[in-house]
Structure 1
Amino acid sequence: MSGIPWDTALAVFGLAVSGAAGVWEFTLVGRKLLGYRVQMDTTAQDAAAAPFAGVLQQMQHNGTPLRDPSFVLLRIENSGRAPIVEDDYLAPDGARAGIRVAFRGRRVVGMVVTELSRSELGSFFTPDDHGPGSPQQVPGLGVSDGLIELPKVKLNRRDHYKVLAVLEREEDFREPAFPDPEVVGGIVGGVRRGRMRKTEYYPFAAKPVRALLIVLVLVLIGESLFMLLRSDPEPAPLDCASGTLTLSGSTALAPVLREAARQYEKVCPDAHIPLSDRTFQGSVPGLSALAAAGKKARLTGSQGLGDRLAFSDGPKSEDGRPQLLPRPVALSLFTLVVNPDAGVKDLSLKQVRDIYAGKITDWNQVKGNDVPIHLVSRNPGSGTRTTLERQVLGGRSLPAATVSDCASLAAAEPGRCEVADTETLLDTVASTPGALGHSEVGAATAQDGVEEVRIDGYPATLEGADEGAYPYWQTEFAYTYGEPPADSMAAGFLRWLADEVGKDVIRSHGDRPCSELAKPLLCRPS
Structure 2
Amino acid sequence: MEGFPWDVLLAVAGIAVPAVAFLWEFALVGRKRLGYRVQMDTPTASGRGFAPTADALAQLQHENGERLVDPSFVLLRIENNGTTDIDTDDYAVNENDRVGIRVKFPGRTVAGMVVTELSSPHLHECFGDDSGFGARDENPERPAGVIDLPRVPLNRGAHYKILAVLDRIPNGSPDDFDDPQVVGEIKGGSLRETKSRTGPTTSVIALILFLVVISIFQLTRSLVFDEKPPPLDCASGKLTITGSTAFAPVLKEATASYAKTCPGASFAFDTRGSAEGLGSLNQAGNDGVLAFSDGAKGEGFPQLLPRPVAFSLFTLVINSDAGVQDLTLAQIRDVYDGKIANWREIGGKDRPVRLVDRHSDSGTRRTFEGQILAGKREPGDNSDDCLKPAPGAQPGVVRCAKPSTNDVLDAVSRVPGALGYSELGAATKREDVLAVRIDGHQATLEGAIHAAYPFWETEYAYTFGEPKADSLVASFLRYLTNQVGKDIVRSHGHRPCAELANPVLCRPGA
The normalised TM-score by structure 1 is: 0.66
Deviations along 1:361-399, whole A, 9 cap, x unmatched?
333333333333322111111111111111012222223
SS state at 1:96 partner: strand
**Runs of 5+ consecutive residues of structure 1 not aligned to the other structure:** 38-74, 100-112, 129-138, 141-150, 164-183, 295-304
Letter of the aligned partner of 1:338 in structure 2? I
Deviations along 1:176-221, whole A, 9 cap, x unmatched?
xxxxxxxx9996579xx9766336x67xxx6112211211211321
Letter of the aligned partner of 1:371 in structure 2? R
The answer as to 2:296 corresponding to 1:315 is yes
Structure 2 distance, partners of 1:521, 1:313, is 17
| Residue of structure 1 in register with 2:215 after alignment | 221
| Residue of structure 1 in register with 2:114 after alignment | 97
| Residue of structure 2 in register with 1:238 after alignment | 232
Structure 2 distance, partners of 1:379, 1:356, is 15
- The answer as to whether partners of 1:328 and 1:521 remain within 8 angstroms in 2 is no
State the percentage of identical aligned residues.
Answer: 46
Deviations along 1:428-471, whole A, 9 cap, x unmatched?
21222222211111111122311212212222111111111110
Deviations along 1:235-260, whole A, 9 cap, x unmatched?
33333332221111110111111112
Q: How does 1:278-289 map to 2 (within 5 A)?
A: 279-289=270-280
Structure 2 distance, partners of 1:456, 1:478, is 31
Structure 2 distance, partners of 1:384, 1:198, is 83
| Residue of structure 2 in register with 1:33 after alignment | 35
SS state at 1:263 partner: helix
Letter of the aligned partner of 1:316 in structure 2? K
Structure 1 distance, partners of 2:274, 2:503, is 21
Structure 2 distance, partners of 1:347, 1:245, is 42
Structure 2 distance, partners of 1:12, 1:463, is 54
Structure 2 distance, partners of 1:322, 1:434, is 42
The answer as to 2:305 corresponding to 1:328 is no
User: Larger Rg: 1 or 2?
Assistant: 2
Structure 2 distance, partners of 1:283, 1:341, is 31
SS state at 2:506 partner: coil
For these two proteins, the number of residue pairs brought into alignment is 412
- The answer as to whether partners of 1:116 and 1:161 remain within 8 angstroms in 2 is yes
- The answer as to whether partners of 2:82 and 2:157 remain within 8 angstroms in 1 is no
More displaced, 10-19 or 430-439?
A: 10-19
Q: How does 1:499-510 map to 2 (within 5 A)?
A: 499-510=482-493
- The answer as to whether partners of 1:335 and 1:460 remain within 8 angstroms in 2 is yes
Structure 2 distance, partners of 1:493, 1:10, is 35
- The answer as to whether partners of 2:115 and 2:160 remain within 8 angstroms in 1 is no
Instruction: Report deviation, 1:427.
Output: 1.5
Structure 2 distance, partners of 1:228, 1:448, is 45
Structure 2 distance, partners of 1:522, 1:6, is 51
SS state at 1:476 partner: strand
The normalised TM-score by structure 2 is: 0.68
Structure 1 distance, partners of 2:248, 2:21, is 63
Letter of the aligned partner of 1:440 in structure 2? E
Deviations along 1:101-131, whole A, 9 cap, x unmatched?
xxxxxxxxxxxx7x944x52254799x9xxx
Q: How does 1:435-454 map to 2 (within 5 A)?
A: 435-454=418-437
Instruction: Report deviation, 1:36.
Output: 11
- The answer as to whether partners of 1:34 and 1:80 remain within 8 angstroms in 2 is no
Structure 1 distance, partners of 2:7, 2:250, is 44
Structure 2 distance, partners of 1:283, 1:386, is 9
Aligned partner of 1:306 among 266, 287, 291: 287
Instruction: Report deviation, 1:9.
Output: 10
Deviations along 1:477-498, whole A, 9 cap, x unmatched?
2222233333332233223322
Aligned partner of 1:480 among 463, 482, 489: 463
Aligned partner of 1:468 among 448, 451, 461: 451
The answer as to 2:283 corresponding to 1:292 is yes
Structure 2 distance, partners of 1:348, 1:36, is 100
Instruction: Report deviation, 1:333.
Output: 0.6
